Amino acid sequence: MAYWRSFEAPLYRELTMSAPVLDLGCGDGHFASLLSLPPPVVGVDISPRALKRARRRRFYQELHCCGADALPFPDAGIRTVLSNCVLEHIQPIARTLDEVARVLAPGGLFVFSVPSPLYEEWGRSHAGFDAHNRRQGHVNVWPASRWKDELARRGLEMDRAPSYFNRPQFDGFLKVDQVLVKPPLGKLLMGLSFGAGLIGLKRPQISYWRKRFQQLGSEGTSPEGAGLFIAAHKRG
């Protein structure tokens, strides 16, 4: 997943984000902590375990354990809402989008990344993709036009929706994922990875994988991609 995230992080950094910032579905906070966000930053997530790790990071000014469909913030009090690879998992999504529109200040930024329909279209050419997709739990895999319509209904205007993660990059990502989850080989490789870290071999291992993935290219946006990066603002 670090390879996938390496394409998303530069896209977020290109944007000017104003505080306060809400990280919707913050998880352990690792990704958001790399984006140089202006404080204060607040986070929400439904996982107490993830929030426990996020607290240790000492990055967020506030953390709340709640669903995205009932945000504990006043109307129009947030200037930026970001949500990285979260919205595709939320069902039903309507109430969450309503809540984002409610807490976002007029002119505020809503920015998020989600898989595009090509994620599933390309994925079907790989053996075992159905099992992979079930593990991912994707329920809202929509084209940019559908996201645009859903946002517009809530007074949110889409500014941009570039694609990223082209076909060779996606295929390479999925092949590695398929190996790592296949027993017993996956467990063996994960065990070797853990052992390599314990005995100080982690850096050579990282260099090996970096070279493998660099062969697939490192450009950001592409005409067609398995991911969508969407930025919108609240009218008014």
Ordered domains of the chain (ranges, CATH): 2-116+136-166+221-234 (3.40.50.150), 167-218 (no CATH)
Contacts of 58 (CB under 8 A, 6+ apart): none
> For strand 62-65 and strand 41-45, is the pairing parallel, antiparallel, or unpaired?
parallel
Which two three-digit tokens encode residue 200?
């100080």
pLDDT surpasses 70 at 215 = no
What number is the average pLDDT over the span 200-219?
Answer: 55
pLDDT in tens, 46-97: 999 999 999 999 999 999 999 999 999 999 999 999 999 999 999 999 999 9
Residue whose tokens read 């490192």: 218
Which two three-digit tokens encode residue 183?
């027993």
Dihedral angle computed from the Cα positions of residues 106, 62, 48 and 56, in that order, rounded to the nearest 10 degrees = 130
Q: What values do phi and psi take at 62, rounded to 5?
A: -140, 145
199: amino acid identity, one letter: I
